[in-house]
Amino acid sequence: MGRPDKAARAAIARRRSDAIDLRLAGVDWLTIARKLAADPTANSDGIAYPQGYGIERYRKNQDPPTDEALIHAACRDVRTALADRRAELNDDVDELRELEADRLDRLFFVAYKKAVRDQDLAAIDRTLRIMERRARLLGLDMPVRTELSGPDGGPVQIENVTADELDALIALTDPDAE
C-alpha cells in the first residue's frame, strides 16, 4: 500500500479529528470505531465513512474488521492525532521562543550601549535583568542542586519522623511552605 494521495490524507485527517471530537464528548471506543468505519455493515450510521477504519478490507469486498480491530484503529488514530497536535504546538513554542530571544537581544543592545557608554547604574541593572531573562528563556542557567544531609553530613534518617520533624525538614527546603 503506497502513500495516500492528497484527498485521502485530508479524509484521514478529518477522520482523526472526528475521532478526537467523539472521544472528548465521552463516546466509548467501540462506538467511535463503528461510527468511523468504512464498511456500511459495520458503520453505526449505515454509510461508508470516507477513509474509514477497514477501508482496505471494504475495497476488497472482505468482511469488516472485528470490533477489537476497530477499537485498536480508533485508539491509534486518536494517539496519532494528539501527537501531531503536540508537535505543532512545540513548533509554535519554538518560534515564539526565538521571537522573544530576538526581542531581548534588541533590548539588551540598547541597554548595554547606555550602560557601557554612560556608565549608568540603572542601565547596568536593566542589562543584567535582560541577560537573566534571556538565560531563563533559553535554559542557559545551570539547575540548582539541593542536597539534604543529616548530622555530620550523613544521611537524613526518616524512619521514625514525627509530623513536627517532617514540617521542619520541609521548611528547610521550601521557604514558601509556611
pLDDT for residue 177 is more than 60: no
Q: Where a domain ends, among 57, 83, 109? A: 83
38 in the same domain as 101 = no
48 in the same domain as 104 = no
Asked whether residue 97 is domain-assigned, the answer is yes
117 in the same domain as 79 = no
pLDDT for residue 176 is more than 70: no
69 in the same domain as 123 = no
114 in the same domain as 76 = no
E runs forming strands in the chain: none
CA distances from 40 to 47, 62, 126, 165 (A): 4, 12, 67, 67
Residue of higher predicted confidence among 175 and 106: 106
Residues 57 and 6: their CA atoms lie apart, in Å, by 21
pTM exceeds 0.75: no
Asked whether residue 22 is domain-assigned, the answer is yes
106 in the same domain as 38 = no
* CA proximity to 132, closest of 104, 93, 94, 109: 104
Asked whether residue 45 is domain-assigned, the answer is yes
φ, ψ of residue 37 in degrees (nearest 5): -80, 145
Asked whether residue 176 is domain-assigned, the answer is no
25 in the same domain as 60 = yes
In the chain, the amino acid numbered 74 is A
Cell of 80: 496519532
98 in the same domain as 79 = no
Instruction: Say how many CA atoms lie within 13 Å of 100 toward its Cβ.
Output: 14
Q: Say what the pLDDT of residue 21 is.
A: 92
The predicted-structure confidence for 106-152, as pLDDT tens digits, reads as follows 999 999 999 999 999 999 999 999 999 999 999 888 877 777 787 78
Domain count along the chain: 2
Asked whether residue 88 is domain-assigned, the answer is no
In the chain, the amino acid numbered 33 is A
Q: Say what the pLDDT of residue 103 is.
A: 94
* Mean pLDDT within 59-84: 90
Q: Where a domain ends, among 41, 63, 83? A: 83
pLDDT for residue 19 is more than 80: yes
DSSP label at 177? G
Residue of higher predicted confidence among 34 and 147: 34
CA distances from 124 to 29, 101, 107, 136 (A): 60, 19, 12, 18
Asked whether residue 1 is domain-assigned, the answer is no
Share of the chain above pLDDT 70, in %: 96
10 in the same domain as 79 = yes
CA distances from 28 to 6, 82, 102 (A): 30, 17, 46
- Residue 77 domain boundaries: 6-83
List residues bridging with 53 in a β-sheet. 37
78 in the same domain as 10 = yes
